[in-house]
Amino acid sequence: MTTDTIRRQYNEVIATHYDLDPQSITGNTLDRAVRQISKQGILDDRPEPIRVYDVGMGTGLFLMRLRALAGDRIQPFGLDLSQKMIDCAYQKLPDLVGAVDTAANLEAHFPGQAFDLISTHFISGFVPLQMLAPKVWCRLEVGGYWSYLGATKGSYPGLQATVNSRLLRWTFGAPPLDVNHSVLSPKDQQEVFTVMEETCFVIRQCETFEPKLHFRDFDEFLEFAYYGGWLTPFIEAVGLHKLSALKRYFLNRFIFPMDDHHVIEIHLAQKVTA
């Protein structure tokens, strides 16, 4: 999957639907990350502004949550691959300092600026955690925090089993899905721990969040997975967004309704030494 393809998907498919948050997974996960930050006291009264760099900021939902708690003490910086997503964030945060680029280049922007808090939310499927960690470390102040959210390879076990079923593969001619080789996300919580600790971060808060999902029919699944941005690259790769009426009927007859769950790691780590 090329950077240009991912950018197009966010600009043309996801940006106008992102804030609708079907199944409320994004909002509920961000709320949990904000609670970790609040519990650690990062947003407590202090004379200096809180410089926040949101890498892969999307439409600014996380920065808005921080601002709701800390007001103008939040000094927002953001990076996103999609100009259209950033434009949505500007509407929420007129003082946002934004840049368009892949998260793999997070260190190239806002030169000379160090940050009190850096967030990387839902981007480890595009940029490996092992690559993100040292880049985040270099842009944080000593004492600064890294807010990490990311799905693991254990996400969507029901969907993974369905995709790999003989019936579905025979009907659609799709190859088997091997997440261990096709997905960049970490395997589990232990892998997140290992990468953070090897980069000399101290983990202050951690949680594995497993929100339930329910799709009544194929259209509801498509609203979440394709237009909501969760599985857009996979859906386009096999053409699920362009299915004929007959194949949609087949899925609604034999596959849906479907219950599943996500697996999301929510971590707050601190840089305690230079």
- The CATH number of whichever domain residue 204 belongs to comes to 3.40.50.150
User: Per residue in 54-64, pLDDT tens?
Assistant: 999 999 999 99
Q: pLDDT of 187-211, one tens digit each?
A: 999 999 999 999 999 999 999 999 9
Phi, psi of 161 (to 5 degrees): -65, -40
Task: Tell me what pLDDT residue 45 has.
Answer: 75
Crossing angle between the packed helical segments 83-92 and 61-70, to the nearest 10 degrees: 20
With respect to residue 234, please indicate whether it lies within any of the assigned structural domains.
Answer: no
CA distance 221 to 22: 9
3-state helix, strand, coil in the chain (%, to 5): 50, 20, 30
**pLDDT at residue 12 tops 70:** yes
Q: Quick check: 180 pLDDT over 80?
A: no
Per-residue pLDDT of 75-123, as tens digits, reads 999 999 999 999 999 999 999 999 999 999 999 999 999 999 999 999 9
Confidence (pLDDT) at 195: 98
Is 243 domain-assigned?
no
Q: Note whether residue 221 is domain-resident.
A: no
The answer to whether position 59 is within a domain reads yes
Q: Residue 131 sits in which domain range? A: 3-156+183-215+261-270
Segment holding 70, helix H or strand E: helix 61-70
Tell me, yes or no, whether 178 lies in a domain. no
Number of domains comprising the chain: 1
Which residue has 């499927």 as its token pair?
A: 125
117 within domain boundaries: yes
221, amino acid identity: F
Residue 28: pLDDT over 90: yes
* Confidence grade of residue 237 (pLDDT, cut at 50, 70, 90): confident
Asked if residue 171 belongs to a domain, the reply is no
- Which tokens belong to 131? 């690559």
Could you tell me the sign of the dihedral formed by the alpha carbons of 197, 179, 2, 62, in that order? negative
Residue 248 domain flag: no
How many beta carbons lie within 10 A of that of residue 228, not counting itself?
21
Strand order in the sheet with 202-209: 97-100, 74-80, 50-55, 115-121, 140-151, 264-270, 202-209
Spatial contact of 116 and 51, defined as CB atoms under 8 Å apart? yes
Chain segment 120-133, per-residue pLDDT in tens: 999 998 999 999 99
Phi, psi (deg, nearest 5) at residue 105: -110, 25
